[in-house]
Amino acid sequence: MGKMRREDLLYGKSLFYIFWKSGSGVFLAVTIVFAALCLFLAVSGYDASEVLAFVCLFFCIAFLLSYVPPLICLSRVFEQERVTGVRWRARTDFDKPKEEREWYLALEGGKFWLYQRSYITKIIRTATERETAGMGSSTTYLLIFESKKGKQQIIKFYSKSAEQDFRKWYQKRP
């Protein structure tokens, strides 16, 4: 049996678990940075109560930085459920290959993408966007589709293979 991808393992989980898991990596990284900063403050001679206040503040900031993007993704899922009438918890296609499932699930950049096949009426196009930061640059792929509500929406992928993976899933319509 082949190696299971993270998304395949998550497909059987609840929305809350996917939400929590998608922000946990960013939360851990931000918490480590803030912990190092708090340690520096403690060693620098700040009073223990001041350091404790900074720890609480940094913890709240880390939580917000980590879980606001997944919260936005979660709200999109609730919108799709409302529009299509198909609930995430009602899925029964666990044993099917990823391309044949009714829901597309991917984790990328501290967010998760979860789309119900019937919510998308057509893929319009993919545009590329070049982002330059410091000495490097990266290309993002903006997949533009029309939703069941008749509105154009954009999914931002950070790799060409992720965008192609989504297209492959969408084109496997039953």
Model confidence over 18-53: pLDDT tens digits? 999 888 888 888 888 888 888 888 788 888 788 788
Looking at the chain, the whole-number percentage of residues with pLDDT higher than 90 is 45
Tokens standing for residue 100 = 């044949």
Q: Which residue has the tokens 């410091």?
A: 134
Distances (CA, A) of 58 to 45, 53, 61, 69: 18, 9, 5, 18
Are 99 and 169 spatial neighbours (Cβ–Cβ below 8 Å)?
Answer: yes
- Say if 125 falls within a structural domain: yes
Please list, in sequence order, all residues whose beta carbon lies within 8 angstroms of the beta carbon of residue 88, skipping any fewer than 6 positions away.
15, 77, 81, 103, 114
Q: Quick check: 2 pLDDT over 70?
A: no
pLDDT of residue 5: 65
Q: What whole-number distance in Å separates Cα of residue 83 and Cα of residue 38?
A: 46
- Residue 4's pLDDT band, with cuts at 50, 70 and 90, is low
pLDDT of residue 114: 94
Q: Quick check: 95 pLDDT over 90?
A: no
pLDDT of residue 146: 96
- Say if 1 falls within a structural domain: no
- Domain span at 11: 6-171
* Chain Cα centroid distance, residue 99: 19
Q: What is the domain count for the chain?
A: 1
- Say if 21 falls within a structural domain: yes
Q: What whole-number distance in Å separates Cα of residue 148 and Cα of residue 122?
A: 9
pLDDT of residue 1: 43
Q: Quick check: 3 pLDDT over 60?
A: no
Q: Quick check: 7 pLDDT over 80?
A: no
Average pLDDT (86-110) is 89
Half-sphere exposure of 10 (CA within 13 A, CB side): 19
- Say if 23 falls within a structural domain: yes
Average pLDDT over the chain reads 87
pLDDT of residue 6: 63
Task: For 135-160, write each residue's pLDDT tens digit.
Answer: 677 888 999 999 999 999 999 988 89
State the SS3 of 131-163: EEECCEEEEEEEEEEEECCCCEEEEEECCHHHH
